Amino acid sequence: MSDSAIFLSGLALSISLIMAIGPQNVHVLRMGLTRQHLALTVLTSIVADMALIALGVFGLGQLGALPDKIYGAMIGGGVLFLLHYGLRAWGRFWRTWRALRDIAKRSPAEPPVIDAAPQSQPPIGPGRAIAMALAFSWLNPHAWIDTAALIGTASLAYGAQAGLFGWGAMAGSILWFTGLGAAAYFLGHVLRGQRFWMWLDAAVALMMWALALILARSLVVSA
């Protein structure tokens, strides 16, 4: 197989694994829509993803080689992380829903009360933005399984050219997160209504809890 074909194989596998909507992608979208350290978040997500790919291709190879207790602790930590993030998203949904309901109940003579939209919330600092992006990258067990384990295992098929396959996978990560960040930035100009944010937060909360349930069930099954 030619070098270009191996490189493109890594790129295609990387994008196919990352493109499924998960905590990391949702976080990048939210940072883009709220105009909060989008470039820093995208860069951190890329670097974190490349680190996992390098770990899989040049080191770990297979996540299954880890002791069961360490693997179980990673899954358990991921469940708690997803539950916590889902609860925060649901809290934002609930506050916005109550604010819009109160506005609807007011009489026309009363002045309208405008609830703070996500764009007007207190901004986070760059340090916290980096920490959050790393958390969504490295505290998510699916990222470890998909990136480190699957890509690392797939690279073994290319023998001495596994590194080229890994570089292709890293290029896929760069393309995906750059494109996702650009799309989120563009959508931020269009999607400004409170109702959009309310239902987005509700969908995020339900998705995070569903992922946590799936992970928790996998722990029970493997026990």
| Contact status, residue 63 vs residue 144, Cβ threshold 8 Å | yes
pLDDT tens per residue across span 22-79: 778 888 888 888 888 999 999 999 999 999 898 888 875 544 455 666 666 766 776 7
Average pLDDT along the chain: 77
Report the run of H or E that residue 121 belongs to, with start and end.
none
pLDDT tens per residue across span 163-214: 898 999 999 999 999 998 998 888 766 665 667 777 877 877 887 787 678 6
Ramachandran class of 116: left when φ > 0, alpha when ψ lies in -120 to 50, beta otherwise: beta
Phi, psi of 57 (to 5 degrees): -75, -40
Among residues of the chain, what percentage have pLDDT more than 90?
16
Q: What is the pLDDT of residue 119?
A: 45
Q: Distance between terminal CA atoms of the chain?
A: 41
